[in-house]
Chains A and B, each alone.
Chain A
């Protein structure tokens, strides 16, 4: 079946640093979604990407839909403590939505 590989699995950064994480697949997707999940909560949608090559920003977050349609990345600029959490990429090609295993982000103040 379709699988998404997220990297890194976890990262520790200093407050104020920029963060980059990515998601790759051997399959083509028509839509990429990035979610953040806090402990005890459901995933919250951060950014949705619908076209290959699309670059979309949401505040300090920027995500891109790879031109091969097999990858996507998420950047967070000037990280703050509330950025802590698990970030999931998800790809869609019809249904169902396929999720990666997540990148756990820790921010050191």
Chain B
């Protein structure tokens, strides 16, 4: 079966621009997670969806970051007025549920470079 897919794989944008990153979770997975990974670091939690709603957005660094999952499957992470410090790999993961089954499966990530 298909795993988690993310598009684009690479995105280069200029400082101040708006970007959207897309995640397609594993079919049937109700929970979806966004992480950010900087060089030499582990993934850092951003936001978690259970179904269509954001169950925990405590990891979003500021109000320039926003994510949606309108139909409970595909999710889009949106970054406004990008800054050079936003450059990182953005990872998406999904799991069968947000309950006891916490085995999260990751996509390959989108490498964002802000110039």
Contacting residues, chain B, for A97 (C-beta < 8 A): 33, 43, 45, 102, 104
Question: Which of A11-19, A37-45, A52-60, A69-77 forms part of the interface with chain B?
Answer: A37-45
B40 touches A101 (CB 8 A): yes
- What is the total number of residues of chain A having a CB less than 8 Å from a CB of chain B? 23
A98 to B35, CA, bound (A): 10
B106 touches A101 (CB 8 A): no
The SS class assigned to the B binding surface is loop
B42 touches A99 (CB 8 A): yes
Give 1 or 0 for each of B86-105: 1 = CB within 8 Å of chain A CB. 00000101000010101111
B104 touches A42 (CB 8 A): no
Q: With A95-B56, A96-B45, A97-B33 as known contacts, state yes or no: A41 contacts B108, CB within 8 Å.
A: yes
Contacting residues, chain B, for A7 (C-beta < 8 A): none
Contacting residues, chain B, for A44 (C-beta < 8 A): 106
Please tell me if B107 contacts chain A, counting CB pairs below 8 Å. Answer: yes
Which of B45, B91, B100 is close to A42, meaning CB atoms less than 8 Å apart?
A: B91
- What is the total number of residues of chain B having a CB less than 8 Å from a CB of chain A? 25
A98 to B59, CA, bound (A): 11
Contacting residues, chain B, for A42 (C-beta < 8 A): 4, 91, 93, 106-109
A44 to B105, CA, bound (A): 7
**Please, which residue of chain A has its CB at the minimum distance from the CB of B44?**
A99
Please tell me if A85 contacts chain B, counting CB pairs below 8 Å. Answer: no
- Chain B residues 36 to 52 lying within 8 A of chain A, measured CB to CB, are 40-45, 48
A42 to B59, CA, bound (A): 19
18 cross-chain CB contacts under 8 A = A33-B103, A42-B4, A42-B107, A43-B43, A48-B102, A88-B42, A92-B102, A95-B56, A96-B45, A96-B56, A96-B58, A97-B104, A98-B45, A99-B42, A99-B44, A101-B40, A101-B41, A101-B42
